[in-house]
């Protein structure tokens, strides 16, 4: 199949599933992975897609990908990040988990913690933890978004202000090379800012694909993040920002000394 025929089909596959993998596309089209990488680079140069580690997602700098589709993006990376993060969090503490598929993955790994209070503005997380015997769950309330089960708005923010959490575990939609955290919705961003302000210890969970994405609204900088849990070590520039911000980097799945 020629490049001119592959490009529309690749775009349609990304629109349908939310993402594509290089090796899967090479098998599907019967071409080399190098050919597919060139196809994806061409589409990225045209602004049609965004390259991520091992594949690509639909380009969007102003509208987020659908929640169910985000669950499938970088699923393995989110899994190892969630495992690592859950091991960082002790029992007998209070935790806030914000809106996001990575924080939802963390919630699943907290199921067997004991004596924990979890506050969340994510109905998906509340549902996950509903049957966890050792965890009490408080839902902030607010305006419920049917698109992702998130709760936002003045009532949400008022509830957040009533707490001082031991840990805030937060995600974001995009990360800047200068250590900025970005998201798409202004009300969600406002809630995330309050969450970070209300935490004794803040933990950002985000896979490496967030460095190749863009979003329009700034949440904060790494200066407000105590721990950053990701799946692949960031580039030198980001490492310098982390060091300057005194944010501790945790590369999930990497043994110490590697």
Q: What is the pTM of this model?
A: 0.78
Asked whether residue 257 carries a pLDDT value surpassing 60, the answer given is no
Residue bearing the bigger pLDDT, 63 or 94: 94
pLDDT digits 0-9 by tens, 142-185: 999 988 999 999 999 999 999 999 999 999 999 998 999 999 99
pLDDT digits 0-9 by tens, 36-91: 999 999 988 887 787 877 888 776 554 566 666 666 667 888 999 999 999 999 99
pLDDT of residue 20: 87
Q: And the tokens for 139?
A: 């839902």
Q: And the tokens for 4?
A: 């001119």
pLDDT of residue 185: 92
pLDDT of residue 253: 75
Q: Are strands 55-58 and 49-52 parallel, antiparallel or unpaired?
A: antiparallel
> How would residue 256 be classed by pLDDT, with cut points 50, 70 and 90?
very low
Mean pLDDT across the stretch 116-144? 96
Find the range with the poorest average confidence among 6-10, 64-68, 155-159, 192-196. 64-68
Asked whether residue 123 carries a pLDDT value surpassing 90, the answer given is yes
User: Which residue do the tokens 């060139």 mark?
Assistant: 38
Task: Encode burial over 152-176: b for 16+ CB neighbours within 10 A, e otherwise.
Answer: bbeebbebbeebebbbbbbbbbbbb
Mean pLDDT across the stretch 93-107? 97
pLDDT of residue 189: 97
pLDDT digits 0-9 by tens, 230-245: 999 999 999 999 999 9
């Amino acid at each position: 199949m020629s490049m001119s025929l592959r490009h529309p089909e690749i775009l349609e596959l990304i629109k349908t599933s939310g993402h594509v993998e290089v090796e899967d596309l090479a098998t599907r089209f019967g071409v080399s992975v190098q050919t597919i990488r060139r196809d994806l680079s061409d589409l990225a140069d045209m602004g049609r897609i965004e390259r991520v580690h091992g594949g690509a997602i639909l380009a969007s700098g102003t509208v987020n990908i659908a929640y169910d589709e985000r669950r499938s993006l970088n699923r393995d990376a989110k899994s190892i990040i969630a495992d690592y993060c859950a091991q960082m969090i002790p029992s007998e503490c209070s935790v806030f988990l914000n809106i996001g598929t990575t924080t939802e993955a963390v919630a699943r790994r907290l199921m067997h913690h004991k004596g924990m209070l979890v506050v969340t503005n994510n109905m998906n997380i509340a549902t996950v933890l509903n049957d966890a015997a050792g965890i009490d769950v408080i839902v902030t309330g607010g305006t419920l978004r049917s698109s992702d089960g998130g709760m936002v708005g003045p009532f949400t923010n008022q509830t957040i202000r009533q707490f001082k959490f031991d840990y805030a575990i937060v995600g974001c939609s995009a990360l800047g090379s200068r250590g900025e955290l970005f998201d798409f919705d202004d009300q969600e961003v406002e809630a995330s800012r309050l969450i970070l302000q209300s935490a004794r210890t803040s933990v950002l969970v985000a896979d490496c694909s967030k460095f190749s994405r863009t979003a329009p609204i700034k949440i904060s900088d790494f200066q407000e993040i105590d721990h950053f849990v990701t799946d692949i070590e960031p580039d030198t520039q980001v490492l310098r920002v982390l060091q300057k911000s005194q944010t501790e980097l945790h590369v999930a799945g990497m043994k110490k000394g590697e």
